[in-house]
Every structure is written in C-alpha cells, then in structure tokens.
Structure 1
C-alpha cells in the first residue's frame, strides 16, 4: 500500500542507483516525494545527478542542481558507501583513507551542504546508512566496521547538534543485505553457494535482508509524522545483532 504522505517533499538519496539506495528512492517516490539520486551512475528511474561524495565540489554542485530543479531539500539519505574486507593488518593506509573518505566524510560533505536548505524545510530529516558492523564484531571487517562505527557516532552527535533546529537525524543499521556489493563478495568466494548459505544461516531469520526492507525503515525514520524520532538507530538485520538462537 502506498500513500502520499511525502507529497511536496524532496528527498536526496546518495548511492541511489543500486541496492539499498535504489530501493529507498523507489519507496520515497511511491509515497509522493520528489526523488533526487546522487550517484556515480545514473538512475534509470528517477531524476539523478552524477556525484562522487568524496569530492566536495561535486557534492556542492549536485545539491545546487537539486535545489534548482526541485526548489528545495527536505530529506537527506546518506547511503553512498564502499566495502572493505580484512583484519586491521591487512588493509593499507590508502585503503583506510579511501573507505573513510567515502563512508564517513562523504556523509559529512553532503549533510553540511544540505543543512542550509534543511533549515528552510517544514519537515527536515537526515537518515544515515550504517551497519550492524558498527556495534557487532565481525571477522575480517576491521576497516568497514570502523567506518560504520564512526557513522553511528556521527549520527548521535548530529542529532544533538540540530535537534533545536527541528532537524531530525537518525540511522538505519542493516544486517547482511542482498545487494550488488554482497553479490560481488560472493563471487570472490571459493564456493559462492556455500558462502551465501553461511551468510544466510548467521542471521536468525535464516535469510539475507532485502533492500526493500531497509528502504522501508529509512522511509519510516524520515516520515514527518515521526517527529519524536531523532538520535535513533533502527536495526534491520534479521535479529543478528540482538538475538542468540541456540539450536
């Protein structure tokens, strides 16, 4: 069922051309929002602008283009991100700088550029995509976990900084989702079928999270009706972070 509760609002979704971002863009559009996808690739379904969130100038030009096209910015979904595999000794400094530049500073760049526009909105909200890796120790995810842990802390700090302005800041924390990035990881495994089965089995629900499930949580956190939701992390992880199922 769809509604028009976002009618007249403009939502920016970074990394919105695929995976969770694409599902979020679809979900906002289905509920009446104007959707602006910022991504390295064009969206085949929504208005989009090429943008590398590791480049501050590109971010500023993209947000200016959104403002010119739609007239304002009401919702920012900081979803663009990249992955990393390895222990703390296996990733180079170059990899650390790159992942933090995209996963953490990319959110900083987009948020600070959008803040002047959000202050003009009647329903401003920021939703950051973090991960269960932010608060749960996972094997060979040191760099990725550190970047998402920083996003979790950033979300809380931003929520505190901007609550008096009426700008709500929350994050969604997915488990292992069935996205193109996870598919690429599976393709690199010696036995992709066995590796997928392992990833599915470690989540108490016995399956991967769908992008649409994460998108529904993002929309919920951004919904203008939820005025008391700020500084919240919403887990969509099949129970992985909180449940211990003993067979």
Structure 2
C-alpha cells in the first residue's frame, strides 16, 4: 500500500519551464483502481491469485494516493504515499488439496526522493531521483477445506529500501503535457526487489491547477515471516495538482 513514491507523481506533474529562485510547492491527491496479482509461498506450493481492475471497480475497492513536492531551482524534495486494501479468491488454488483460496492484501508505501533536474528546455525536462521507500505489507491467506483441513496464514512486515529512478515531462501543445516516472529498489535493502512505473497525460488550466490521468504499476517481492510474497499492482489513476 504501482499504480503513480510520496513525491513521484507530483514531480511528474511539475512544470517544465525554468523557475525563479525560491521554494515552490505542489500537492496532488489521486484515486487509483489497481488490479492485483499475488503469489504466496506455502509448504504445499505457491498460491497464485489475481484480481482485475474491473473487479476492483465493481467491488469499489480503491487505492488512494497523495503526493507532495517542494522545489527550489534544479533541486526538489518529493514524497509519494499510497494505501490499498484488496481481496481476491479462486477455486482449487493448490489442486484438490483445498477447495478455495482467498487472499486479503493491505499495502502502504511511502517513497521519498531528492530530485535533481539534469536537463531542461522550454518544453522538456528530465529529473534524476534517489531516495528510499518504506513499505508496510500485510497478507492474510485463507484456504478452505479440501483433501486437507482448512488453513489460515497471516503474515506482515514493515521495511525500508533504497531506490533510484528518473522522471521526464514533455509539453503537448499549449496546455497539455505527458509525464513518466520509473524507479527501482531493493538492492542492498530488505526487499528482493521493488519497482514502479507511472505514465500520465495531463492538462494545465493555469499556473496553479492541473489534472492528470494515466496508469501506475507497482511491484514488491519480499519474504514475510519465512513466506515468499510477490505482489503486483497495476491500474488507472486520476488526480488533481495544486501549486503554490
């Protein structure tokens, strides 16, 4: 708790034009409707389940995101936070051993970056990012009786990983823009791997207000209390940015 990390999405929406000296700020709330694929290792084998974005929307299971950016010249401080609580199920996840499996996943992730603008023109800007991601993940697996008695496994954990990445923004026409951000982490941290990609199109109403929408992918691979857990979020997002 990829799919647009506190400051990632904000930084994606930052203006490409050069800014005067002094601090500028931006706040961006988002709605995110990610599908989810989860794999949980057990003593009987991995339990693999998935939930599509259409299922998420029909069940009104939404993820919420918020982003903040502070910028002064070429330097920026960025934060991005998301929360998601989604459940998924399937029949016979381990063949005849269990009649049905159900996983409830609660994820929270806070990403913080220092950004440096390595290239900027009137219509194009590129930022290099480096920082950290704090992830809090809880997975509750229920297996209904089949050939074996029913089982319930609950695992959770909180950890920190270093991340590096980049962001690009290009102006489209007089008021449109496109942004893309990607990061990768886990090396030297607690995760086997964590990464995310955010791609959006937006419209700038004026110097203060803009709207943007797109797609976010977010992936975690981590061992929780001895069980290997892989969770992938992917889905559309829609947000608003206010600058001051």
Which of the two has greater strand per residue?
Answer: 2
TM-score tier (shorter): under 0.3
Q: Could you say which structure has the higher helix fraction? A: 1
Max radius of gyration: which structure? 2
Normalised by the length of structure 1, the TM-score is 0.27
